C-alpha cells in the first residue's frame, strides 16, 4: 500500500460520509482509500500498527499514512494537504497549536449527529466508488 493513504471515518455519520465524498472529488491521483472505523478492516489495521497507536473514538477521523497514524485535526490537515488546489492551503492551519485545533475539532465532532444526522448503518459505496473502499 505504498503511496496510499487510508482514511478511517465514522461510517454512520452524515458529515463524515459527505467528507469522504468531498475528498474523493478532490483527489485526482486517487491517493486515498477509505474504511469505516466500525469495520473489521479498520480494527485489524490499527491493531497491526502496534501498541503505540491510541485507540480512536468513533468521533475521530484517522489517517494512516506510511505506517504513521494521525487523528482529529492532524488527520484533516494532512488530508487537505494532498487534495487539489486550493485545499492544500489549509495546511497552514498546522501552525495553530494542536490543542486549540483539536478543541474546535472536538466541538464539531460532539455535535455532528445533531447538525448533520446519522444513518443506522454504514453506507454501501456505489459500484464506481467501490474500489476506493477497503471494507
Give the CA distances from residue 29 to residues 42, 51, 82, in Å, rounded to whole numbers and listed in that order.
23, 32, 9
pLDDT confidence of residue 55 = 67
1 pLDDT tier (thresholds 50, 70, 90): very low
Q: Give me the residue spans of the domains in the chain.
A: 5-132
| Burial of 113 per CB tally in 10 Å (0-12, 13-18, 19+) | middle
Q: Using one digit for the tens of pLDDT, what is the confidence trace for 86-120?
A: 999 999 999 999 999 999 989 998 888 888 887 76
Amino acid at each position: 500500500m505504498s503511496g496510499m493513504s487510508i482514511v478511517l471515518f465514522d461510517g454512520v455519520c452524515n458529515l463524515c460520509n459527505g467528507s469522504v465524498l468531498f475528498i474523493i472529488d478532490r483527489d485526482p491521483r486517487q491517493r486515498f482509500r477509505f474504511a469505516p472505523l466500525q469495520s473489521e478492516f479498520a480494527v485489524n489495521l490499527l491493531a497491526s500498527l502496534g501498541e503505540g497507536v491510541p485507540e480512536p473514538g468513533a468521533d475521530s477521523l484517522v489517517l494512516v499514512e506510511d505506517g504513521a497514524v494521525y487523528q482529529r485535526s492532524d488527520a484533516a490537515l494532512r488530508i487537505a494537504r494532498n487534495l487539489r488546489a486550493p485545499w492544500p492551503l489549509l495546511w497552514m492551519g498546522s501552525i495553530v497549536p494542536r490543542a486549540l485545533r483539536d478543541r474546535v475539532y472536538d466541538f464539531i465532532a460532539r455535535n455532528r449527529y445533531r447538525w448533520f444526522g446519522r444513518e443506522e448503518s454504514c453506507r454501501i459505496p456505489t459500484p464506481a466508488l467501490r474500489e476506493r473502499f477497503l471494507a
